[in-house]
Amino acid sequence: MKHGLIRLLLSATALFVATVANAKPEQVGVVILHGKQGMPDGAFSPIKKLANALTDKGYLVARPEMPWSRKRYLDGNWHQAMLEIGAAVDQLRAKGAQKIVIAGHSIGSPAALSYAAQSQKIDGVAMMAPGHVPILYSECLSRVSPVAMCAVQSSLEDARQAIAAGKGDEKARFTDINQGSSIATWTTANAFLSYFDPAGEAEMAVTAKKLPAHTAVLWIIGYQDALIKLGPDYVFKLLPANPKHKYLEIASNHFRTPVDGVAEIVAWIDSIAE
């Protein structure tokens, strides 16, 4: 009787593992994070086609409006952004998702990677035209866009000085860039540094090393994207080994990568569901 019960429990466990390993689309949740100053449901949102394609296949999809949206930029600190991603993940799990993929466009990529590294429970991260590079901002390097990078470097110094002076929670004007164009943000020095610290959780080269080996990563970038100059060495080669990792370059630019690469992105997410 005892041995029979053990065999029954082992069989049930094996069945559960097999079910999770080969999840149906309705058992897979995909959180899609928009880019800097974007909107998840905007008429020209580059993530809209991907969301529709995944929904049509039966995937559970969430498109939260993040703190870097056009309406909210920048709202709170990086930790707040992680909490909001977590809330979207929880909503999908409540709907029956057994596997979770986070797909991020531009700044959504480091956010997806950061959350996956912190959570340790994410099955896949799709990094679409990855953007937001604190380590390059801080170095003011010419390998991507020297003038714009230096503008952010100056704000980084201002934020550090404000924090050192005990004014880290006072709002002030800081400078960011979006694809080479300078943009102003009114936020606190502490919040700004949480997004732009080269050693912080918003830097992909930092969080890549913290990702659990079971989390697969897709890095898809367009030939016309400035960050393509750095190739896989910048982040992708820092990831722990996983047979489902994929580095892909396509004919596209920074804005249109989620649109032009929708077939490749969906196919990769299908592989995570298997």
* 151 and 252 belong to one structural domain: no
Cβ atoms of residues 204 and 235 within 8 Å: yes
Q: What's the total number of domains in the chain?
A: 2
pLDDT of residue 143: 63
Cβ atoms of residues 59 and 30 within 8 Å: yes
* 182 and 215 belong to one structural domain: no
pLDDT of residue 211: 98
Largest pairwise CA distance in the chain: 75
* 46 and 117 belong to one structural domain: yes
Sign of torsion over alpha carbons 95, 115, 33, 238: negative
* 65 and 84 belong to one structural domain: yes
Domain final residue pick, 201, 224, 251: 201
**Domain boundaries, position 115:** 20-130+203-274
Which residue bears the tokens 């480091």?
110
Which CA distances in Å does 170 have to 1, 162, 188, 244, 270? 68, 8, 5, 44, 46
Sign of torsion over alpha carbons 108, 114, 116, 118: negative
Which CA distances in Å does 204 have to 104, 134, 154, 194, 240? 12, 9, 21, 13, 13
* 193 and 210 belong to one structural domain: no
Which CA distances in Å does 44 have to 38, 56, 173? 9, 19, 29
**CATH number of the domain to which 116 belongs:** 3.40.50.1820
At residue 103, φ and ψ (nearest 5 deg) are: -110, 120
* 119 and 208 belong to one structural domain: yes
Residue 56 belongs to some domain of the structure: yes
pLDDT of residue 23: 81
Task: Return per-residue pLDDT of the chain as tens, 274 residues.
Answer: 444 433 433 333 333 333 345 789 889 999 999 999 999 988 889 999 999 999 999 999 999 999 999 999 999 999 999 999 999 999 999 999 999 999 999 999 999 999 999 999 999 999 999 999 999 888 876 566 555 677 888 999 999 999 999 999 999 999 998 887 888 999 999 999 999 999 999 999 999 999 999 999 999 999 999 899 999 999 999 999 999 999 999 999 999 999 999 999 999 999 999 8
Neighbours of 177 (CB within 10 A): 20
* 70 and 123 belong to one structural domain: yes
- CA angle centred on 251, ends 109 and 179, rounded to 5°: 45
